[in-house]
Amino acid sequence: MSIGLLGKKIGMTQIFDKFGNTIPVTILQAGPCVITHIKTEENDGYKAVQIGYMETNEDKITKAESGHLKKSNIHPLKYLCEYKLNSLENIGLGDTITVEKFRIGNLINISGLSIGRGFTGYQKRHHFNRGPMSHGSKNHRQPGSIGAGTTPGRVFLGKKMAGRMGGKKTTIKNLTIIDINTTSNLIIVKGSIPGKTGNLISIKSQ
């Protein structure tokens, strides 16, 4: 696994290729990120790198995070994330990671928090069909029976019912990089990604 990159979602738009085809794209601001901690097999039992993103004031983070960053002489960072690695070669504490590590045409995986929809019914949440709307039917948007009788005498775990929808970590794989702007740390990828505008995302290369 390689080191990923943290960033935020700027928004969606569309571009046109040389044949005039419309391509829906998402604009991301990725990095720059700073390597805040390096874990080794001797000290921690595995190899990993921790990166930080988005400078902030010291009073905006916890004292534990502040002390952790001060050990490495790194300014306060709002977000921290860890990536496991197979090798720690050419990696130094305090190094900066930017969008220059990516190339146009590369496939990447993007993870983020999906948009929360609140408490929703089973039609919206699980795409169930509605009941008849006429001829005396009273089952329009009701779930119907949710289990058997005496046996087993309970509702099985995982039953598709109404409940909280969205607000979970979601990963979209194999998104193609359309363009990169190294000056503004922008990446344009084909398709949509989880979350709303300004949402924190994690970008990992294939």
Confidence of residue 144 (pLDDT cuts 50, 70, 90): confident
Pair type for strands 169-181 and 107-113: antiparallel
Domain ranges of the chain: 5-116+169-205, 117-165
pTM of the model: 0.80
- Tell me the sheet residues that pair with 187: 28, 180
Supply the mean pLDDT for the chain.
Answer: 89
Which fold is adopted by the domain 5-116+169-205? Elongation Factor Tu (Ef-tu); domain 3 (2.40.30)
Instruction: Report whether pLDDT(117) > 90.
Output: yes
Tell me phi and psi for residue 66, to 5 degrees: -60, -45
pLDDT at 190: 94
